[in-house]
Amino acid sequence: MREALELEVTWGRTVTVWWTLFWRNVVALVGGFIAGAILGGVLGLILGLVGASPNTIRIVVSPIAFVLGLAISVVPMKLILGKDFGEFRLVLLPKKETASGQS
């Protein structure tokens, strides 16, 4: 494996990565909101049809919406890992091993 050359962390590179993550997060947020609204509406309708109170529906749907939002929030980060930014790529590198073989 060849040695990776580290680039300096500059404001320009930082903003480039931030912007790339930010707009993907906004898209994921909108998508999550739409998916959550549809899922919440369907669950609310089903629970309403079986006679659940609005408060019970809220108690059931809220944690499900939270987990859905949490799961969706990981997607933008996964999308930018390995992305080519022209001057650099955002990658994960292993830490250098010490003489004892531990990192």
Residue 50, burial from CB neighbour count under 10 angstroms (0-12, 13-18, 19+): exposed
Q: Residue 95 contacts by C-beta under 8 Å, 6 or more apart in sequence?
A: 103
Cross-strand pairs, 84: 89
Q: What is the pLDDT along the chain (103 residues), one digit of tens a residue?
A: 566 688 999 999 999 999 999 999 999 999 999 998 899 999 999 999 999 999 999 999 999 988 988 899 899 999 999 999 999 999 998 887 765 655 5
Q: Residue 74 domain-assigned?
A: yes
Q: Residue 65 domain-assigned?
A: yes
Total domains present in the chain? 1
Q: Could you give the CA distance from residue 86 to residue 24 in angstroms, rounded to a whole number?
A: 18
Q: Residue 29 domain-assigned?
A: no
Q: Residue 25 domain-assigned?
A: no
pTM for the whole thing? 0.74
Q: Residue 56 domain-assigned?
A: yes
Residue 75 belongs to domain spanning: 41-80
